[in-house]
Structure 1
Amino acid sequence: MSEFPGRRDNLTDGPQRPYQVRPDELEGAVRETLSHQVALARPLSVDPAGQAIRRANRIRRRRTAAGLALAAVATVLLSAGMAQLGAETGRDGSPIVVIGDPGPTSRPLPTASIPGPAPSPEASTAPLVSETLVNADGRRLVLPDVGPADRVQPLPSGGGWLVVGASSAAGRSLWVVQDDGLVQVLLAGAGAIVLAPDSLQVAWRDGGDLLVAGVVGTQLIGAVRTPVPATAEPVRFVGDSVLVRLDPASAGHTLWRPGTGPLPEALDQKSLNVYGRLPDGRLVGQVATTEPGRGCLAVLAPTRQLDPVRTGCGPDLSQDGIGEVSPDGRWLLVNGDSGKAGRSLLVDLQRLGPGATAVAAGPPIFGAIVWSDEAHASYLDGAGELVQVVVGQVRAGKPASPAAVPGVPAGDRPILVKGF
């Protein structure tokens, strides 16, 4: 039993605790408790902002490292390229800017800086004409505002043409003409210009130097130069090399491979003209003889000295250098004399040797020769008419006759091209 009647607990009687609290004291206590809770930083189980910041920092570090690596690689490549070009040529070329359509309606065009001749005012303001192209079948195509020109080839990627301008007091020009009508000048004021058969490269004379560059789109890239004698000029591409004639007034060629140094010291002194390449890589050309003004045909080794492998004398060949080998290497269509008149001649290269003979194929050739296949060739005569040579008929004693190209105005001379 409890000692204190009326109580059910073990509390003793004593001073009573006051439970009366003023409102201002209660409000202060609550404020103090809340302020302590706010001041206490509690970690969150998920921190999206922190994760995003850390992720951004990682990405920034990776991009910075990648950018530095790419910059280092580009610097090494550029330095190596400049060192190679300097080592190959030992010359500093004045850069030119590829200029655009000289017409008043020109559109913005891409530009490139390459070593070469500076565009001359005479070349960029020369009056332009329309050039008519004709293929081996007689079909026509007109290129406006690109002339006068003397050679045209398709662009490497198609969709247009490379046009080599005719020689003038201001030099030669090289145009790109796209199928949409856009005209762009790649070179102006150059010397002799030679295009590779596939149009992927171009070689040209610039002052005392010979240059070779690649054709990419509507630009020339990767130009390499080498000094050449004052009378030397490029003639044609032979594979990746350029055939250079040392002096148009005398015999002598050499092969220069861009990127392998200057012209070789050992030079050929016998070849007069080179007409083309056989399937095995050897060349067909004309070599000088002891008789002035006369040359013999020869198969030449593709070396810098162009050593004759096989020679055949007999056909009376012209000195103008016009001629082309058939795709199979069997036939040579070349200018020469038949009797007392100038004619085109068909030579059987398989029978090249002592007493080699040729048959008259048609009137003299002016400009390019296009072999459609091993048995058909076409060219233009002095009047700009189309001559279509059929090997079987020529060998049977039936030379080809010229025919006017339909639609070509009188006095206009078309340019023969392959394809389109």
Structure 2
Amino acid sequence: MVVVLATAAAMQLGGERPPTGSTVVIGEPDSESTVTWAPSSPPTGPGTGAPLADVDLVLGGTIATAQGRRVPLVDTGGIERAHRLADDRGWLVIGPPSLAGRFLWAVAPDGTARVLLGGADEIVLDEGGQQVAWKQGTALAAAKVVNKELVATVRAEAPAEAVPLRFVGGAVLVRLAPDRPGHVLWRLQPGPLDPGTDRASNRIFGALPDGRLVAEITEGSPEKSCLTVLNPAGLTPAGRECGPQLSGDGPGSVSPDGRWLLVNGRSGRQEGAVLVDLRRLDPSVDPVPVGLAATGDVVWSRPGTAYYADAAGRLIRMDVDRVTAGRPAEPLVIAGLPDGIRPVVVSGG
């Protein structure tokens, strides 16, 4: 009740309308392709049209599905991340940070939404949309998502500056502090969070099929950063391979087959999004330039294709064969999309 009242008060002070729904629980291109976007049909039912991509997209107050449907979103605020549930059961969507914290909504196939979680500092979902983890103050928590309800919640105490980043093999990857290296895998055990021994990893981008983690670490004397692979136990280097220096920041994602990493970094003198061959982690092998730097989530629709929004707000489709052949990733110009609306690529599906 304290969290609910505090959330409502913060919204009033910030001039924000509380989301409606159920009870808050807590927390340079050589070509361009043009696709046409149109506003959704009236809220009585989703519209149809040509698909914009082979992933779902959030375009303002509408979800444009990979099947060509236009689903108007009802009773949600702004959306920063979204995940499509299996079997056409709708979506889980996460709002941006605000005075009232972040919100997690469950969105039905017709676009109606209800709040599952509110007032959180950060919220993350697993790859199947079956688990959620969140942080509020010093409370780190996780729960299962069953029939669009949160059940079996487990809680731990964590440093105030720690933040959950993603699920990895049933555990939650937690960055210990935003301004210094170091991560730990929280294996959903109650009690104080064990900070572990890793104080070298700057960024961790995801897991390989065998469970090892792809990470950027800082080590040596003098210190240098490089891309490497970590064992999930203790987050220690899995070998002596130290790949290229990325010299970037922001998001990144490992392909489903574990072959590629799409991440912000540097290739030669070019800065922006780059593609790294994870089978050739060698500092002498430059990453392949892709295009402008990615903002928001990088989402792979299949092992050879990924989508992201670039720094100019365009939707980018990155095809591995195209990029490795020396051609930049393909911007998709969404005709008719209002100014200021940045596409959000939906994971899952």
Task: Specify if TM > 0.5.
Answer: yes
> Partner of 1:199 in structure 2?
129
| Change beyond 3 A, Cα 1:106–1:258 | closer
> Partner of 1:415 in structure 2?
344
SS of 2:279's partner is helix
User: Within 5 Å, which residues of 2 pair with 1:213-362?
Assistant: 213-259=143-189, 261-289=191-219, 295-303=225-233, 305-310=234-239, 311-320=241-250, 322-362=251-291
Pair 1:370 & 2:266 matched:
no
User: Within 5 Å, which residues of 2 pair with 1:56-71?
Assistant: none
> Partner of 1:167 in structure 2?
97
Counterpart residue type for residue 238 of structure 2: V
SS of 2:323's partner is helix
Counterpart residue type for residue 295 of structure 1: S
| Change beyond 3 A, Cα 1:419–1:272 | closer
Larger strand fraction of residues: 2
Counterpart residue type for residue 321 of structure 2: G
TM-score by length of 1: 0.66
C-alpha displacement of 1:142:
4.0
| Change beyond 3 A, Cα 1:352–1:105 | closer
C-alpha displacement of 1:383:
2.9
C-alpha displacement of 1:278:
0.5
| Change beyond 3 A, Cα 1:104–1:332 | closer
Given candidates 198, 207, 210, the residue that maps to 2:140 is: 210
In 2: Cα distance, 1:140 partner to 1:178 partner = 13
In 1: Cα distance, 2:323 partner to 2:316 partner = 12
For residues 320-364 of structure 1, the C-alpha deviation after alignment (integer angstroms, 9 at most, x for no partner) is 2x1111111111111012345431111110011342421101221
Counterpart residue type for residue 312 of structure 1: C
C-alpha displacement of 1:136:
7.2
C-alpha displacement of 1:133:
3.7
| Change beyond 3 A, Cα 1:338–1:199 | same
Which residues of structure 1 form unaligned runs of 5+? 1-92, 118-128
| Change beyond 3 A, Cα 1:397–1:186 | same
TM-score by length of 2: 0.79
Which residues of structure 2 form unaligned runs of 5+? 8-15, 28-58
C-alpha displacement of 1:374:
1.8
Q: Is the 8 A contact 1:136 1:372 kept in 2?
A: no
SS of 1:153's partner is strand
User: Within 5 Å, which residues of 2 pair with 1:171-186?
Assistant: 171-186=101-116
Counterpart residue type for residue 137 of structure 2: G
Question: How many aligned residue pairs are there?
Answer: 308
In 2: Cα distance, 1:199 partner to 1:154 partner = 8
Q: Is the 8 A contact 2:19 2:115 kept in 1?
A: no
Q: Is the 8 A contact 2:141 2:155 kept in 1?
A: yes
> Partner of 2:45 in structure 1?
none
C-alpha displacement of 1:131:
3.0
| Change beyond 3 A, Cα 1:326–1:226 | same
In 2: Cα distance, 1:281 partner to 1:105 partner = 38
Greater shift, 244-253 or 371-380, is seen at 371-380
In 2: Cα distance, 1:312 partner to 1:202 partner = 33
Q: Is the 8 A contact 1:135 1:419 kept in 2?
A: no
In 1: Cα distance, 2:18 partner to 2:183 partner = 43
In 2: Cα distance, 1:298 partner to 1:313 partner = 6
Given candidates 74, 82, 89, the residue that maps to 1:152 is: 82
For residues 105-153 of structure 1, the C-alpha deviation after alignment (integer angstroms, 9 at most, x for no partner) is 968x5x59x5x36xxxxxxxxxxx9534456799865424322111000
C-alpha displacement of 1:272:
0.8
Larger helix fraction of residues: 1
Counterpart residue type for residue 364 of structure 1: A
SS of 1:309's partner is coil
Given candidates 308, 320, 328, the residue that maps to 1:391 is: 320
Greater shift, 162-171 or 133-142, is seen at 133-142
C-alpha displacement of 1:265:
4.7
For residues 208-240 of structure 1, the C-alpha deviation after alignment (integer angstroms, 9 at most, x for no partner) is 110001111232111111000121010100011
C-alpha displacement of 1:262:
3.4
SS of 2:339's partner is coil
SS of 2:134's partner is strand
C-alpha displacement of 1:94:
6.7
In 2: Cα distance, 1:104 partner to 1:299 partner = 43
Greater shift, 290-299 or 217-226, is seen at 290-299
Counterpart residue type for residue 215 of structure 1: V
How much identity, in percent, do the aligned residues show? 44
C-alpha displacement of 1:159:
2.0
Higher RCO, 1 vs 2 (CA within 8 Å, ≥6 residues apart): 2
In 2: Cα distance, 1:363 partner to 1:130 partner = 22
> Partner of 1:48 in structure 2?
none
